[in-house]
Amino acid sequence: MDEKGSLLPQPQATASRSRTRSLWAQLAQVTVICVLLKISFDAVSSRFGGHDQPVAAFATCPQVEPLYPSQNPSLSKMDDYITSSKFINETVARMAGAIQIPSQSYDDMGPIGEDSRWDVMFDFAAYLQKTFPLTHRTLSLEKVNTHGLLYTWEGSDASLKPSVLMAHQDVVPVAEATVGQWTYPPFDGYFDGQFIWGRGSMDCKNNLIGIMEAVELLIEAGFTPKRTLVLSFGFDEEISGGFGAAYLAPALISRYGKDGAAIIVDEGAGTYSKWGTTFALPGVAEKGYIDVEIIVRMPGGHSSVPPAHNGIGVMSELITLIEANPYEPHLHSENPFLGLLQCGASHSSEFPSKLKKLLPSHNGETCSKKDKLALEAAKLGDEIKYLFTTSVAPDIISGGVKSNALPERTSVLVNHRVNVGDHPAEVQAKLTKLAEKVAEKHNLTVHAFNDDPETPRSIKLNSDGRTLEPAPVAPTSVDGVTPYSVLSGTTRALYGEDIVVAPGIMTGNTDTKFYWDLTTHIFRYGPGWDPEQEGLEGIHTVNEKLSIKAHIKGVQWYSMFIRNMDEADLD
């Protein structure tokens, strides 16, 4: 005690308290930093859209009011006609005719003019010309690289950036061995009173014919656009678009310049019911892409005197290792699926409580070491998990030439769809490490993603020129009049205010990968919807079919969207 009776701190107690205060001060400092980072993150998020749009921008998932285009007697009459029984019969016939042209594209197609399998595209172009005479008299048509169809409907105001609607003419081939499994022949275009059956009915001749029908009807109703409308139809999307969109896109960029278009709408995601709510999900991004060829070279010899492990065994070991090391789910801040989760939390009464609890904390992910939100969301199923997870799939394998000869060269092709926020280079690095692990065990040399030749005892990794970074994320701001707000407003005008429009993401790639420089406002969306046919059942496989109700809704949507964009004050 001091002379006043108070306790004097001893030196050891003083040091202990000093350390305690120091720890509390450090903890408080970290907390303040996290809070400040979150505040800064949210402020930037709310202010900027575009390629790196973070989750906070979607925090409340604002919905725009239904957007109806201006009407006159002719346009009102046209809108009524689209829902008539006469139009149903006519559109069924048009869709059937399009399906009956087997415009299949194959992975091994040769050059145009040399490979006769391309010639079916002449038939499809002729069918369009015969079926849509007003469109062909009113719009200018350019044929790009022979079969690419570029229609331009010139607007009266050259200062307005054009709208671009896209689709592709080609379809996935039907394997001969599967023809007998179809309920109706794949190229008959059979209509059963509810569905039109056939290859291409949903992917995506419905979009192409729907666009052409909308334009034909608008011309007939006397509509003349202020904003130029461009229709860009590739013909080899199913084999990556190297002959079609790869030529069409540069032609448009050359004409209108970088960021020269107001909006692009191509095929893509549609409308689905989830968590007790119906969501329209225009794709605002696409995952990246990389194919990696792995080649194992091992000594040959007679198979009667085999080594403990030959090339096929070593390759099998490497494939097993690759599959045993999948990519972890991760929701990067720019991934649009975060926007969908925010919309679900804001508008769906059945949204999972566990996800809802994780959403707020995820906004401050700079202070989190584990992506708990992604791991929880991945439990919704693989079709959800791969919206925010890099996928890996060994798809093609070959090795050996004779039953009594050891394989000297074994190869496998491993396909990856790269998560938004990740990069193909990360895939290359991971595969290289796994290959090195196997190579060390079997005394092999690794040649990874370089120009080194294959050597007798080696593992060689190659990637081809189709490697693609994830697509830039389209802006989804609805402040003022934006391309996304026009798309959203059109959708809610057609389907009602119960529809929630939320950002979607494509796990595959579309022809839009060639159009990134034409505009940042790229949306991959299938606007036709019938609650009795949700999802992609039949696409790329047996019994592809299209709800006629969904198709007619698509025609309505395109007609409304063209007019809404024409009236939108975007520029």
Tell me, yes or no, if 170 is annotated catalytic: yes
**Helices 424-442 + 311-323 axis angle, to 10:** 140
CB atoms within 10 A of CB 47: 10
- Spatial contact of 297 and 518, defined as CB atoms under 8 Å apart: no
For the question of residue 203 being annotated catalytic, the response is: no
Q: Angle at CA 540, nearest 5°, toward 534 and 544? A: 55
- In 3D, which of 439, 202, 417 has the Cα closest to residue 291? 417
Beta strand 504-506 with 522-525: parallel, antiparallel or unpaired?
unpaired
Do residues 275 and 344 touch, judged by C-beta distance below 8 A?
A: yes
Catalytic: which of 203, 213, 236, 237?
237
Q: How far apart are CA 207 and CA 166, in angstroms?
A: 8
Q: How far is CA 340 from CA 113, 134, 142, 273, in A?
A: 46, 40, 39, 12
3-state secondary structure of 138: helix
The residue annotated as part of the active site, out of 170, 213, 286, 566, is 170
| φ, ψ of residue 402 in degrees (nearest 5) | -155, 150
Q: What is the dihedral of CA 340, 512, 267, 465, to 10 degrees?
A: -100
Instruction: Assess whether the previous peptide bond of 204 is cis (omega < 30° from 0).
Output: yes
State the alpha helices, DSSP H only, in 420-530. Answer: 424-442, 483-495
H or E segment and range at residue 39: helix 11-47
Cβ atoms of 331 and 377 closer than 8 Å:
yes
Residues classed as catalytic: 170, 237
